[in-house]
Structure 1
């Protein structure tokens, strides 16, 4: 259960980073990473 929770936390932070890049750089910024 703990592993799933930690994976969920990582996925959530990755999504937040993805949204931030999308807002900052647009689709081109996402292709880069």
Structure 2
């Protein structure tokens, strides 16, 4: 997964790795979408 913020790459890794990083942008988006608690 490639995560962009304001046109810049901020994260790039597999979803499982990014979901383990609770401070990641990807985790935050998944949490906002109700995919993680």
**Normalization by structure 1: what TM-score?**
0.31
User: Normalized per residue, which structure has more helix?
Assistant: 1
Provide the TM-score with structure 2 as the length reference: 0.30
